[in-house]
Amino acid sequence: MVRILERMSKPKQIILGGGVSGLAAGVAGAGPVYEATAHPGGICSSYYVRPGSSQRLHQPPADEQAYRFEIGGGHWIFGGDPAVLRFIKDLAPVQSYSRRSGVYLPSEKIYTPFPIQNHLRYLGEARARQALEEMTHPSGEQTTMRDWLRRNFGPTLFDLFFDGFNRLYTAGLYDRIAPQDAYKSPVDLNAVRQGATSDAPPPVGYNTQYLYPVEGLGTLARRMAGRCSIHYGKRAGQIDPLARVVYFEDGSQVQYSRLLSTLPLDAMLKLTGLSTPEKPDPYTSVLVVNLGAVKGGRCPQDHWIYVPQSRSGFHRVGFYSNVSPTFLPASHRQRQDRTSIYVERAYPGGQKPSDAEVGAYCQALVRELQEWEYIGEVEVIDPTWIDSAYTWSWPGSKWRSQAMQVLERHDIYPVGRYARWIFQGIADSIRDGFIVGTSLK
């Protein structure tokens, strides 16, 4: 195929990836944005499906008779610099929410608020007493995430919840990867003691309060894109870091002086042919199944719940419509007799199941959620695949810093959550885009 070189007077700085980090860099004036898909926002983008249909609509239909979903499941805006939050609010009005989340133990049909360690009274007096004793006197090493969990929460809670959930959440990696993101499930013995009695401890964690755009997350992405120079359908197939050329899969190419990349860190090494002395850190992919259904009699009021076991293999169920009824078709928003749901199942990085396997899994998870009485008749079922969903590190690994250094030596600067191989939210990803975009423009 003939490659067409973009006409320019000289090579320019460019941005790869039109997720929120890349869009923020584009808003900061760091250069044109090249996005692989036909829409901005990456996994932080909304879409709509009418009941009984499988067609994705990227704008709400005029009659609003459609379920709203997101590509990568529920993405809520937590934390963040006040100036970044001001920017978000100016572009897309938001509503503030207090987190409602829980833990469901299917084998015992026990529900507790999240985090489970701060609500031991739901487990019964004897088990609560035993769990508290184990947490008060931790023992054992903590080289891996599995070690850390067992040492800090004790055998009782580990066997009941943390073992099963983290095995599913990490697609089996948790006994080999380093402990990380401890703030997601904090250990505070005063709160544990308080929650073992009749008192409810205050909410803890990084996302006890969060924001969400009134018109949907896709609205924020589109309005950010409106402030950028952005090219769609530009999926990078190869990058020559010496000639400083990006070759796109559509046959076009662009020469650059400097490259800001929001693509996953391991993907950039492959595209450029660059390497590091250490083996790459691992990641997990996630199959997110979006469901629109009749609301079941025992459908939780939570925004999301965590489960340590499920026959079909999922680890989290989120309820879009418990955050906002605008995720429902307009005719059901007042009655709220429908529910809009996302269900997450993790896979080892890049091991995408076949279409037949996805179909069988979707049928199995629907049956399971119907047995739990979360849902009734299903009106929409739409699976989405997130290849790089969660990033991890091996114990003692220096791969991340080595990978970033080798890219930066070739004037390629990683920006955002996946490019920097860290966990962070939307607001911090936008901040990264602004900082790097402003520094390098």
- The answer as to whether 291 is a domain residue is no
> Do residue 118 and residue 190 come from a single domain?
yes
CATH number at residue 28: 3.40.50.720
Tell me how far apart the alpha carbons of residues 383 and 73 are, in angstroms, rounded to a whole number: 10
Q: Residue type for 154, please?
A: G
> Do residue 266 and residue 229 come from a single domain?
yes
- The answer as to whether 303 is a domain residue is no
- The answer as to whether 389 is a domain residue is no
> Do residue 31 and residue 93 come from a single domain?
yes
Q: Any idea of the CA torsion for 376, 378, 379, 382, to the nearest 10 degrees?
A: 140
List the beta strands (DSSP E) in 270-410: 283-295, 304-306, 316-319, 338-348, 375-391
Strand partners, 348: 284
Domain total of the chain: 2
- The answer as to whether 162 is a domain residue is yes
- The answer as to whether 409 is a domain residue is yes
Radius of gyration for the alpha carbons in the chain, expressed in angstroms and rounded? 23
> Do residue 110 and residue 171 come from a single domain?
yes
Spell out the alpha helix ranges (H) of 259-324.
265-272, 320-323
In terms of residue numbers, what domain contains 107?
Answer: 101-195
> Do residue 274 and residue 135 come from a single domain?
no
The candidate with the shortest Cα–Cα distance to 268, out of 159, 404, 174, is: 404
The candidate with the shortest Cα–Cα distance to 282, out of 428, 394, 202, 162, is: 394
Question: pLDDT tens digits for the chain (441 residues)?
Answer: 344 444 444 679 999 999 999 999 999 999 999 999 999 999 999 999 999 999 999 999 999 999 999 999 999 999 899 999 999 999 999 999 999 999 999 999 999 999 999 999 999 999 999 999 999 888 777 889 999 999 999 999 999 999 999 999 999 999 999 998 777 777 888 899 999 887 778 888 888 999 999 999 999 999 999 999 999 999 999 999 999 999 999 999 999 999 999 999 999 999 999 999 999 999 999 999 999 999 999 999 999 999 999 999 999 999 999 999 999 999 999 999 999 999 999 999 999 999 999 999 999 999 999 999 999 999 999 999 999 999 999 999 999 999 999 999 999 999 999 999 999 999 999 999 999 999 987
> Do residue 91 and residue 215 come from a single domain?
yes
- The answer as to whether 307 is a domain residue is no
